[in-house]
Amino acid sequence: MSDRLMTEQKMPLNTAARSAEVVLRTHDLSKRYGQRLVVDTLNLEIRRGDILGFLGPNGAGKTTTIRMLLGLITPTMGSIEILGQDLATQRARLLPRVGALIETPALYLYMSGRDNLRAVGTILGGVPAQRIDEVLELVDLRHRQRDRVRTYSLGMKQRLGVAIALLQDPDILILDEPANGLDPAGIVEMRDLMHRLAASGKTVLISSHLLSEVQQICTRVAIINLGKLVTETSVEALTRGQGEYNVQLEQAQEALTVIRAQSWGHTARITSEGTLITPAPGGRGKDLNLFLVNAGFVPDALTPATQDLEQIFLQLTNGGSGDSK
């Protein structure tokens, strides 16, 4: 048997059980601007420990949704529940439980990173110096905390923005395009920060255009288009494909003929690179392997066929044409 045989998908980074507490829920959330319903009866659910990627083409309604979640604009219809309570009636109590970074943070450029945190801490009240140390550590800015923000890279400013959002140790962190405009090194640093947040058990909603980032960071994705929820599922389930397997073996053509003759194998095919893509009997990789071996074909490798999140996204959003309609 092949030593590269692999039938299980690797587990997502954060495996928060779906039974975890719902920390944020929207009920038919809608926002109308003039004649346009830019957020259309959106029902979202975020559970504790989820790292939810909030995806959609330009103009899909992501920022508008986030502004409603933060109480910055009022929904036209529908409601928002945070930690089991209604945001509209419990605003003052709930908003401190939500930290946010919308696009670029508002920073005092002539002050140091630490002084920015101190200033915001003073405005918020009750933020101990120790918490400032903690968030500086978390966003990896301790070594630059005394330098003026003017001298920071864009990535460092974004991370300082995340640090500000974390000051009150919120239950939920909402980040609108945190990696927007960052260079590859900045993106890697932001990704590492997201991993640290995930490991610390934070619940995070991240809106992004960077699908490969979402695929690496998030446990779940919600995709919206034209204000409507297109899908809300785990990254693993979304990218798993249709229960198909990639099989590498020497006699791919012969194996294809045999598989095609099976009741479960009609859709099997061979890619231009020579990889056999096939469903499995009963949908199980080990049964496919057994079938192949019994038929005289020993696979070099057998892995679940995954779809790229980018392809799925374009399919689900009709080529990502949110703004053009």
Ligand X SMILES: Nc1ncnc2c1ncn2[C@@H]1O[C@H](COP(=O)(O)OP(=O)(O)OP(=O)(O)O)[C@@H](O)[C@H]1O
Contacting residues toward ligand X, per CB under 6 A: 33, 38, 56, 58-64, 323
Residues that bind Mg ion (CB under 5 A): 62-63
Whole-number Å distance between alpha carbons of 202 and 20: 13
CB nearest Mg ion: which residue? 63
- What is each CA distance from 308 to 48, 213, 241, 287, in whole angstroms? 26, 12, 9, 25
The residues near 319 (Cβ < 8 Å, ≥ 6 apart) are none
CB 232 within 8 A of CB 44: yes
Q: Which does 311 bind (CB under 5 to 8 A by kind): Mg ion, ligand X, none?
A: none
- Closest separation in Å from C-beta 295 to Mg ion: 52
Nearer to Mg ion, 62 or 202 (CB): 62
Whole-number Å distance between alpha carbons of 235 and 239: 6
Q: Which does 58 bind (CB under 5 to 8 A by kind): Mg ion, ligand X, none?
A: ligand X
DSSP state of 10: P
Nearer to ligand X, 58 or 151 (CB): 58
Whole-number Å distance between alpha carbons of 189 and 154: 11
- Closest separation in Å from C-beta 77 to Mg ion: 21
- Closest separation in Å from C-beta 211 to ligand X: 13
Token pair of 148 as six digits: 């003026």
Q: Which does 99 bind (CB under 5 to 8 A by kind): ligand X, Mg ion, none?
A: none
Going by DSSP bridges, is the β-strand pair 51-55/203-208 parallel, antiparallel, or unpaired?
Answer: parallel
Nearer to Mg ion, 63 or 275 (CB): 63
- Closest separation in Å from C-beta 65 to ligand X: 7
- Closest separation in Å from C-beta 229 to ligand X: 13
One-letter amino acid for residue 153 of the chain? S
- Closest separation in Å from C-beta 35 to ligand X: 10
Nearer to ligand X, 56 or 99 (CB): 56
Nearer to Mg ion, 40 or 171 (CB): 40
DSSP state of 83: T
Q: Which does 56 bind (CB under 5 to 8 A by kind): ligand X, Mg ion, none?
A: ligand X
The CA R_g of the chain, rounded to the nearest whole Å, is 23
Residue indicated by tokens 């992004």 = 208
Nearer to ligand X, 28 or 33 (CB): 33
